[in-house]
Chains A and B, each alone.
Chain A
Amino acid sequence: MNARALPRPQIPVNSADPRHAVTLTVNGVEVSREVSPRMLLSDFIRHELGLTGTHVGCEHGVCGACTVLIDGVSARSCLTLAVQADGAELRTVEALADGDAGLSVLQQAFAESHALQCGYCTPGFLMALTEHFESGDPLDLSDEGIREMIAGNLCRCTGYANIVVAVRRAAELSGRS
């Protein structure tokens, strides 16, 4: 049989999962969607909202690549359900820089310090560090203190040395050192 003669199969649009309405603020904009109750927040951000800067590295909460800020607190979006974020204020890496071309202080410091290679884990580091930098607490900029700040994030490329340098540089750039 000529394959081109075969009728195309019917393509289902969705699974049979029930849907729940969620409304939340994402990077300052309110969004409402109907989602499956088991949809991960990481999938929601990436595939429902098209904000693909948040990456998924392990899907079991160990690597930190998917870190976002929920109501200002860092969280693993791969261990959070989208429905749990209902009513929350969410921030992702896309919101860090002002304007279309600029870089935040942390991003600038990462670029200056060669603190990223493949860049896949980088958004998670940036979000985890943003929480530290935005808190009013003094930053412990000792080597150990900085390594503790990033101890929830895995990077397989850099060996971390330049990320430590970048954190110190960001503190300098933002007058926190």
Chain B
Amino acid sequence: MSTRQFGSRVQRNIDPRLLRGEGAFTDDIPLPGALHAAFVRSPFARARILSIDTAAARAMPGVVAVYTCDDIGHLDQALPLLIPHPSMRDARTQRPLARDDVHYVGQAVAMVVAADRYVAEDAALAIDVDYDQLAVELDLERAVAPGAPAVHTTHPDNVAADFTQVSGDPETAMAAAQHVTRIRVQVDRSTAAPMECRTVAARFDAASGELVVWDGTQAPIGVRGGLASIFGLDEHKVRVIAPDVGGGFGQKVMFPYPDELLVPFAAIEIGRPVKYIEDRRENFIGSNQERTQIHWIELHATKNGEVLALKDEFLHDTGAFIPYGIAVAQVASTSIAGPYRIPNIEVRFRAVYTPTVPVTPYRGCGRPQSCFAIERAMDKLADELGIDRREIRRRNLIADDEFPWAREGLLFADGLRVSLDSGQYHKALDLVCDRIGWDGFAAEQAAARAEGRDLGIGLAFYVEGTGLGPYEGGHVRIHPITGKVYVNTGLTAQGQGHDTVFAQIVADQLGVPVTDVILVQGDTAAYDWGVATFASRAAVVSGNAIHKTAALVRDKTVRAAANMLEVQEADVELRDGHAWVAGTDRKVPLAAIATASNPLRYAFNEAAQAATQFAPASRHDGPALQDDQHPGLEAAAYFSPECATWAYGVHAAVIEVDRATLQVKIHRYVCVHDCGNMINPTLVEGQVMGGLAQGIGGALYERIEYDAEGNPTNANFVDFLIPYATEIPDVEIAHLETPSPLNPLGVKGVGEAGCIAVGPTIAAAVEDALRHRGGGRFDAVPITPSAILENLGTA
């Protein structure tokens, strides 16, 4: 066998192309004769549209078409509710172009299509919309109070969903508790801010009736279904291609955004390709966001700190619409007990409409909020009982031999049960404390204080349900000309390196170089069974599907090779792109085996001659293919998880709060994580580190600010503070590898891991640093210098 690729630090196949500037992002793809779209967006958070005057815009040179809700025919309807759930009543989704009402600043009101983007934007500015501004309430708690202005007249209380889940018997457990810790925590709104904004381009071929859409989406198969359904087309007449995509982080899994329908619509109607490339401000006001939740969490414990029951009630900001259902809040609610045994849970949330950009998943998807709630509550419980913060966790962590740990009664965001499948939680806690220097920190802190410096230490544990269903597929074919292996799956990539990790899996089965495995993804014309890239699921769901498929192709290859080499199957070895007779130098290339596995009439090269009807090797009685035989070396298989597999980890940080500027500087940061067996540790570390940087952004810098009228006031990269290299510290990442028992590869997802526990880690450390100066608790993120000033001022 060749060296095992699974687990190796293999360089990425895709990198040379991206590094040479040969990437093919949507706006890089030549589309001759393309027209450009621009949008008129609402300047008010809540208003009635009195009139729209498009005459001046239509008359401008270079303008081809202007669309309002009156010009888009059957598209003028509420967009689909993607994930229905019984907890929602009359769920609100937006229309492609606003009719009568606008519900957030940035909502699309009209679309212009013009010769170039400059003219399209000029014309958008020339459209005169008359609004009657209405009252708004931005504050989540006040929005659900009686008398608050309603975002939708159908929902006077602004409550979009109200849902309670119970595990165990919390009522009895709470009655038995000796101590109750209560805490209110808040995480504020942020945004994914992928470096490439959203993009969509469309071309309609009237001759073939085919609509081709290039869309920087995480879910092209879903987009195709949506387009086919809304346009009344056969799915095979709609081809959606997610080309190279410049980051997604969840923002690009939601569909259809208005532009994803309107651009294809215009391309069909005008008969020319149309392109829309969102700009950065539009990404802030037009593309979905996430995070704001307020939790009131209670831990009911014994005097020794064993938590018997958890009760949590939280408000979840869903923005002006709820197209993705309750997914974010549901993930938060089912993750609320973290890595702890806590056998009795009652968790209720209300999803609240606010006149802001709609909320759908952003990397973390509710987990950063629930992790912040439980971890801040554990710290408070520790303080109240006089127990060390590490020790309180140790007393509640699930032990290695207690897995699987099921939370009966809770259903995860894929509708399947919550059961933590495997882990070494105690070992992870010990490891992080060892690496950060937990035990010796008190002396370090005292020494720093003696110098007038405020150092603090914090830690936080997280769990992450990953690898959600329903399923993904794999299709593997050995190419008869080149011997290269083509792999299809229904995912898309936004930088994760699927092309490399899936190639590693296939290379191990077929004994080919990783660079000879070519992954095709994101094109519905190439493969269209599957779901999408989200929820840290690609490695788990597609990875296992591809693994199963590659094993089937391996079996076929070995069988065909044994036949060609006239040996037993057990004597065939696959390595270096050939099948070998074990222990000899007799071999045959995979390309030749693939060619020979397809009975041919026409010879197109030397290898093919051997597969034609009069060649000795293929002469036999009866048909060339038996009844159950399939030509070529290819197979397809699927993987559908029985439930999510739970990755986990623990973070610890030592920080300093600058006494003059109140800025937080991270001195040391350690992340211990466990995503089961790692396919490629280098790529795992890349995912963790990238998540961490976003987590640090959320903990210290990033917050979408709205004024009292609902205008976002920092919708640009100058005022919304994404960390640069100068804000991100070196991080020590340590791996544990506890295989998941739920899939053949033993893998768990890692996409979101890094971002989840940063908030509570930093908050705990800042609190620890400032307690001696009379600082209070830090129960909200981001922790800006102003927040610290306020905290110290009120202590």
Contacts and interface: CB of A to CB of B under 8 A. Distances in A.
A103 B690 contact: no
B686 A12 contact: no
Contacts of A122: 18-19
B692 interface: yes
Chain B interface size band reads 35 or more
B14 A161 contact: no
A114 B780 CA distance: 34
Chain A interface size band reads 35 or more
A77 interface: no
Interface in A97-142: 97, 101, 103, 107, 110-112, 114, 116-123, 126
B196 A120 contact: yes
B495 A147 contact: no
B731 A159 contact: yes
Given A9-B64, A159-B692, A119 B118 contact: no
Contacts of A92: 21
Contact of B682 (A55, A114, A143): A114
A57 interface: yes
A157 to B, nearest CB: 5
Interface string A71-112: 000000000000000000000111011000101000100111
Contacts of B731: 159, 161
A102 to B, nearest CB: 9
A134 B118 CA distance: 36
Contact of A93 (B20, B27, B693): B20
Nearest to A152: B724
A118 B64 contact: no
A173 interface: no
A36 to B, nearest CB: 7
A56 B27 CA distance: 10
Interface in B711-766: 716-718, 722, 724-726, 728, 730-731, 754
Interface in A7-30: 8-9, 11-17
| Pairs A-B, 8 closest by C-beta atoms | A53-B21, A120-B246, A118-B495, A119-B18, A117-B495, A159-B693, A52-B28, A93-B21
A165 B496 CA distance: 19
Interface string B20-61: 111101011010010100000000000000000000000011
Contact of A15 (B12, B118, B271, B272): B118
19 contacts: A8-B271, A11-B270, A12-B114, A36-B118, A51-B21, A52-B23, A53-B22, A57-B246, A57-B280, A114-B12, A116-B495, A118-B195, A119-B19, A119-B23, A123-B21, A126-B19, A155-B195, A159-B693, A159-B731
Interface of A: 3, 8-9, 11-17, 36, 38-39, 43, 46, 50-60, 62-63, 65, 92-94, 96-97, 101, 103, 107, 110-112, 114, 116-123, 126, 143, 146-148, 150-164
A97 B20 contact: yes
B262 interface: no
Contacts of B62: 12, 14-16
A26 to B, nearest CB: 13
Interface in B116-137: 116-119, 122
A34 to B, nearest CB: 14
A116 B19 CA distance: 9
A8 B414 CA distance: 47
A55 B269 CA distance: 30
